[in-house]
Amino acid sequence: MAKHRVHSIEFKRQLVAEYTAGETLHALAKRHDISRNLIRIWIAKAEVGAFDNEAEAADLLSGYEAKIAALERLVGRQALELEYLKGALKHGRSSRNVSMSVITGPVVSALPRDVG
């Protein structure tokens, strides 16, 4: 069974250019192991400008893929921040009337001077 191959737009344009330069369909098909009918299809598409639209669509698609990747990284970073803050909120709950120091923690109440 024949494998389905995908050829780049540049390769298709190259074959069309070789054909228009005088190369025969038979020689092109044999050299690149491609059917002559497929080359005819590419020639017809090139004549109507279909390869130009495909190139623009490929550029647009790659731009969208890059934007999606950046947004996915941002969502991942925000998810990590959210989990961190949820954990900090869960473990950081203490009574609000206790004085806290960022460096030493809860302030220990001093004993009255008159004790003793």
Which tens digits make up the pLDDT trace of 30-87? 999 999 999 999 999 888 887 777 767 777 888 899 999 999 999 999 999 999 999 8
Q: Which long-range contacts (CB under 8 A, 24 or more apart) does 93-98 make?
A: none
- pLDDT-above-70 percentage for the chain: 75
Cβ burial, residue 32 (10 Å; 0-12/13-18/19+): middle
The string of DSSP codes covering 18-78 is: HHHTT--HHHHHHHHT--HHHHHHHHHHHHHTHHHHHHHHHHHHHHHHHHHHHHHHHHHHH
Q: Look at 108 and 55; give whichever has higher pLDDT.
A: 55
Q: Using an 8 Å Cβ cutoff, are 26 and 36 in contact? A: yes
Mean of the per-residue pLDDT values for the chain?
Answer: 82
Residue 116 in this model has a pLDDT that exceeds 70:
no
